[in-house]
Structure formats: structure tokens, C-alpha cells
Amino acid sequence: MLEIDGISKRFGSTVALDGMSFTVRPGELYGFVGANGAGKTTTMRIALGVLAADAGEVRLGGRALDAASRRRIGYMPEERGLYPRMAVGTQLRYLAELRGRSAAQAREAADRWTERLGLTERRGDEVQRLSLGNQQRVQLAAALVAEPDVLVLDEPFSGLDPMAVDVMSEVLRERRDAGAPVVFSSHQLELVERLCDRVGIVRAGRLVAEGAVAELRDASAVEVLVDAPQAPAGWADGVPGVARARAADGGTVLTLADAPHTDLEATLGAVLDAARRTGPVHEFRRRRPTLAEIYRDAVAESQAEVAA
């Protein structure tokens, strides 16, 4: 398991990380999400030893990372780190050998991954002659070619076409199913929601929410979608237990006030009665927030805490 424990990092007066902590378990796909500048890349660079932390520790399998254990991590850097003039196959073999594989192992892995990632025809091409999406596939192959025990991928999905997104997703799931801890950052929250076992939401260099998407949903306020086409604006104002109302999803989405669960039935009943008084009700159901909505709430909440 990969443990990021209390990492802090400053660049001059900029606090990039402020006690960043999370754990990626074996066989877990972990999504790392946060705004531009929240600290995702810095965390990953520190995990890989590209940067030194000011405080905190990164552990793999319970032990502080060192040069040998770092070689067990397959890393896909955000800035992409390929040699532009080297041929794809040569480059992958070279990177595998650099990380301790024999020449035969390196050749076998380079062939296998290029085939898997749809790059067989490109093995002899210089990296700089490939399209950006294909360069990204090579970058993923580079992270995988030394058979790493852990994968750390910085925005692996950015700029990929839908087919490449599918291939990338499949490969990450496979590594997870083979027991590897896999962590990746992304701004594509629908993808993160679909793929990840757990998600960590970062703001200003620290984690502000974490859990399985289902857990984060359960922890967020209850929402109800009501489609009552004849209801005038403000129809739900004053219904006890309703905190907010907004137009969305073809109806009114009501956010219920935090309340003990025993009150939930009563509140739902009051909302339905109020909706019925306006005319026909076409839809009335509990609505699950998307990860994007959970993310916005978590970030807004932590901002409000800082301001308070």
C-alpha cells in the first residue's frame, strides 16, 4: 500500500502542500481530484522522489520510500518525459532496462504493451512524429513496461480520444484487479466517478474529503427532484425541512436541511403535499448528487471554514 503521510511543501512563499495525507490500498483505484494548483502534481512528484518534501513521509508497504522501492512505482508525469527523437520500441526497452529488467524481459514487455495499447505499427517511429494521444499511450506504456507494483499517473486521461480513454480505463482496472495500488489525478470527474473505488478531493494542499463515491453521496445532504409542471416559482418556500430549491434536471431540485433520519419521511411527505397542491406531479424521487456536485460542495465548505 502507498501511504502519503502529512506531506508539506513550500515554494518560496507559496504553500503547495499543507499536511497532505492519504492511503492507496492494494487493489484499489484511487482518484485524486482538485482545482488547478491544488497540489496534485506536487504530491505525485514527492511520491516519486522527483521533489523532496519539507515535512512528512511517503511509505510503500509500510516502509519509507528509498531508491529501490521507488523503482517499483510506474509513474506517468504530467509534463510527459519521453525522448522525442528516440523510436517508440527502443525507448520502451531502454526505460525497462533502466529500471532493472533484463534485455529479454524489456523486449517482451515493450512488444506486449505496444500491442496492447494499439501502437504496434508505431514501434519504429520517433516519439515526436506521433500524435499527442499516441504519445500519451507511449507514456502509459513507459509507466508499465518495468512491471511496476504501484501506478501513479498524473492526468493520464487528458487529451485522449474516447477509444483511448477506454483502453486507458481498461488497463488501470486490470492493474487494480491484479492487486496494485493505482492512483491518478484527473479533472474529468465523470470518469473518476465511473472508475475509482475511492476518491480524494484536494484543496489548497490538503485533502478536504475522501471516500467511495457512494459514501460521499450518503454523507451529503438529501436532495429530491420534483417535476410539478404547474408549480409557480418559490412553491417549496416555507416547506419545513427544505433548505434550498433550484431548477435542474427538468424540475425543481430541493436540498433538505440536515436532519435526523427519523424526520426524513415527514419532510418528504410535506414536500409531496406541497407539490400536489400546485397541480399534477410527474416525478418525485430522491436524487443522487454527481461527483462534480460533491466536489463543489466539499471545496466550498472548506473555503468557508478557512474564511470563518
Ligand X SMILES: Nc1ncnc2c1ncn2[C@@H]1O[C@H](COP(=O)(O)OP(=O)(O)OP(=O)(O)O)[C@@H](O)[C@H]1O
Q: Binding residues for ligand X, per CB under 6 A? A: 11, 14, 16, 34, 36-42, 78
**Residue 91: CB minimum distance to ligand X, A:** 25
Q: Measured from the CB atom, is 2 or 201 closer to ligand X?
A: 201
Long-range contacts, 94-100 (Cβ 8 Å, 24+)? 95/142, 95/145, 95/146, 96/145, 96/146, 98/146, 99/71, 99/146, 100/71, 100/146
The DSSP letter of residue 232 is: P
The burial of 247, by beta-carbon neighbours within 10 Å (0-12 exposed, 13-18 middle, 19 or more buried), is given as: exposed
CB-based contact 275:284 (threshold 8 Å): yes
C-alpha–C-alpha distance, residues 255 and 253, integer Å: 7
Of the pair 191, 236, the CB lying nearest ligand X is at 191
- Cβ closer to ligand X: 31 or 89? 31
Q: How far is the CB of 195 from ligand X (least distance, A)?
A: 18
- Which helix (H) or strand (E) segment holds residue 99: the answer is none
> Closer CB to ligand X, residue 199 or residue 271?
199
Number of Cβ atoms within 10 Å of the Cβ of 238: 8
In whole angstroms, the minimum distance from the beta carbon of 204 to ligand X comes to 9
Closest to 32 in 3D by CA, of 147, 178, 173, 197? 197
Cα–Cα dist 92/96, whole Å? 6
Spatial separation of the C-alpha atoms in residues 89 and 53, rounded to whole Å:
34
Is the torsion defined by CA of 36, 40, 46, 50 positive or negative? negative
Least CB distance from residue 15 to ligand X, whole Å?
8
Query: Smallest gap, in angstroms, from Cβ of residue 202 to ligand X?
Result: 7
Helix %, strand %, coil % for the chain, to 5?
40, 25, 35
Min dist. Cβ of residue 44 to ligand X (A): 8
- Closest approach, Cβ 191 to ligand X, in A, equals 15
Q: Which three cell numbers stand for residue 65?
A: 520510500
* 51/239 with CB nearer ligand X: 51
Q: Specify the residue, 43 or 135, whose C-beta has the smaller distance to ligand X.
A: 43
For the chain, the distance separating the N- and C-terminal CA atoms, rounded to the nearest angstrom, is: 36
Q: Which is nearer to ligand X, 46 or 216 (CB)?
A: 46
CB of 153 to ligand X, least distance (A): 12
Q: Which is nearer to ligand X, 16 or 224 (CB)?
A: 16
Would you state the cell numbers that stand for residue 143, as one nine-digit string?
509507466
